[in-house]
Amino acid sequence: MKRLVILGGGESGVGTALLGKQKGFDVFVSDKGIIAPKYQKILLENNINFEQNKHTDSLIFSADIVMKSPGIPDNISLIQALISKEIKIVSEIEFASEFTKAKIIGITGSNGKTTTTLLMGHLLKKAGFDVGIGGNIGDSFAQLVAEKSHENYVLELSSFQLDGIVDFKPNIAVITNISPDHLDRYQYNYDNYINSKFRITKNQTATDFLLYDADDKAIENWLDNNITKAQKIPFSIQKELKYGAFLRENKIILKLTSEEVLMTVSELALKGKHNIKNAMAVAITAKLFAIASKNIAQSLADFKPVEHRLEYVRKINGVQFINDSKATNIDAVFYALDAMDSPTIWVVGGVDKGNDYQVLMPLVKEKVKAIVCLGIDNEKIIATFGNVVPVLVATNTAKKAVNIANKLAEKGDTVLLSPACASFDLFKNYQDRGIQFKKAIQEL
């Protein structure tokens, strides 16, 4: 019996443990921190051995294969020791893929991958396909494979998950966009991060497809200088394409076999230029599944937006409140501000990830009437925008931020939480930040 050791007792780790036990492995889970009660319960119910608050070398180095959770970097001593002992280390995505013959749609990108994943799943399910949706959102890929053998999987894939693949390949890969993010994990080298994203296509063959944003300079540059065997299908909102999806007179045009008008931009359920691109990627995929255009358009029109991503909360005295807590980098905030069509009170801040706020300056000058900083260290934001917007206020709770923003707002304005930063200074995660923001709005 082969021994499978899993480092990390979170979503991907426990999902891998379930699948590993199902497939006959001797499974052991090791977590340096505390394993959440809900995951401990699953491990105990399934008689899976585990340890927490420590890594015991003798129990780990006896592994035939190690699954490393995506949050664990490669440069720590334990991982380096495993490498030196030539013990195989894989990601959960890699491990799970060995136990399914399903068609896989893999979606990555710095922004938009969650929305695109859920929109893709929504459309395929409405068209009658058997689909499992997960990966970096919801249930882990391993748990999905363990619990039910779907015919198709739509997976959100982070760069961390892609770093651990060996043979994994999606039949359809989507790269929504690439902008600097998580650079601390990639030696502060943007090229390393870009290459990590493109691992999604490294094992694709000529029968597979790579869908990508043709307006994205990082993507275009990589494709100009590297080779993928996959069939490339671009999408664009800036130029007409000979092949792919593009905009013409505010209409989404598909040009795969013959040219056709899919729908007008105003019919999309999701607003903003970035969501037009997300919809294009989904529409192209749907065409590869031979779904009728009228059904594609209907699904794109009736999809409900993702929580914490440009999520409309409510309107109070003519002021609309929008929760974009998932916007944890500059590019995501750029999309959010670009989508605003009214004077905006921008709630921003948290743990800075090396942000260059100058990229946002034209949009801030055009659309932002006041800034409310929500974070412990707001110096960089204040230094950048203090002389640009008429009002800038710093605070350290979601409730205070909402109350201040509400006082600053006038009828017809928008209060936008779009932090550009990680949440860990004041909140558990971006979801907690968004929930507290929404709760404070409901209490106004």
Residues 102/152, Cβ–Cβ less than 8 Å: yes
Q: Is 136 annotated as a binding residue?
A: no
Which spans in 26-134 are helix H? 37-45, 57-60, 77-84, 92-97, 113-126
- Whole-angstrom distance, CA of residue 235 vs CA of residue 243: 9
As a residue count, the chain comes to 444
Q: Is 110 annotated as a binding residue?
A: yes
- Whole-angstrom distance, CA of residue 202 vs CA of residue 269: 33
- Whole-angstrom distance, CA of residue 160 vs CA of residue 69: 9
Q: What are phi and psi of 318, to 5 degrees?
A: 85, 0
What percentage of the chain's residues is helix, strand, coil (to nearest 5)? 40, 25, 40
Q: Is 342 annotated as a binding residue?
A: no
Q: Is 115 annotated as a binding residue?
A: yes
Beta bridge partners of 88: 65
Closest CA to 441 of 327, 345, 367: 345
DSSP assignment of 270-333: S-SHHHHHHHHHHHHHHHHTT--HHHHHHHHHHPPPPTTSSEEEEEETTEEEEE-TT--SHHHH
Closest CA to 404 of 321, 325, 326, 328: 321
Q: Is 69 annotated as a binding residue?
A: no
Q: Is 158 annotated as a binding residue?
A: no
Q: Is 350 annotated as a binding residue?
A: no
Query: Which residues are known binding-site members for ATP?
Result: 109-115
Query: Which residues are known binding-site members?
Result: 109-115
